C-alpha cells in the first residue's frame, strides 16, 4: 500500500493559448484570477504558496473548468512544505505584475 502525502506548498506554472472563450474573455485571464485566489503571484505565469489539501483540490477543479485540455498546459509541483526547497535568484525580480491580466 502506498503512503498518501499531504502537500501543503505548490508551484503552479501555466501556458494558455491566446484564444477568447465563449464568454468573450481570455482563458489566461481566468486562469490568472483563479490562481491569485489561492496562491501568491510569483512571476508572469507562475504562482506559488502554501495551500491546504482541500484548497488544492478546489484550485485544480476550477482550473479544469476553464482550460481547453487540448490547447492549454498547467503544471502543479507539489511539496510537503516550503522548507523543503531552495531558491537561487539571479537578477532583479520584476515589480508586482498582478494586474497584467486584469
> Could you identify the residue written with the cell 508551484?
11
pLDDT the model gives residue 81: 82
Please indicate, yes or no, if residue 3 is contained in any of the structural domains.
no
As a whole number, mean pLDDT of residues 22-37 equals 86
Helix (H, G, I), strand (E, B) or coil at 46: strand
Q: Could you tell me the residue range of the domain that residue 32 belongs to? A: 9-81
Which of 40, 41, 51 lies closest to 80 in space, CA to CA?
Answer: 51
Residue 82 pLDDT greater than 90, yes or no: no
- CB-CB contact of 74 with 28 (8 Å): no
Q: What sign for the dihedral angle of Cα 27, 72, 76, 97?
A: negative
Which CATH number does the domain housing residue 52 bear?
3.30.70.240
Domain assignment of residue 91, yes or no:
no
**Residue 97 within a domain:** no
Mean pLDDT of 69-80: 93
102 band by pLDDT with thresholds 50, 70 and 90: very low
Residue 7 confidence class, pLDDT cut points 50, 70, 90: confident
Supply the pLDDT for residue 55. Answer: 97
Amino acid at each position: 500500500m502506498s503512503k498518501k502525502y499531504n502537500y501543503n506548498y505548490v508551484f503552479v506554472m501555466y501556458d494558455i493559448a491566446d484564444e477568447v472563450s465563449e464568454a468573450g474573455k481570455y482563458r489566461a485571464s481566468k486562469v490568472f484570477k483563479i490562481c491569485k485566489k489561492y496562491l501568491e503571484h510569483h512571476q508572469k505565469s507562475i504562482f506559488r504558496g502554501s495551500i491546504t489539501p482541500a484548497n488544492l483540490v478546489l484550485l485544480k477543479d476550477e482550473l479544469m473548468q476553464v482550460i481547453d485540455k487540448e490547447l492549454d498546459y498547467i503544471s502543479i509541483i507539489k511539496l510537503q512544505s516550503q522548507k523543503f526547497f531552495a531558491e537561487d535568484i539571479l537578477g532583479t525580480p520584476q515589480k508586482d505584475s498582478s494586474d497584467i491580466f486584469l
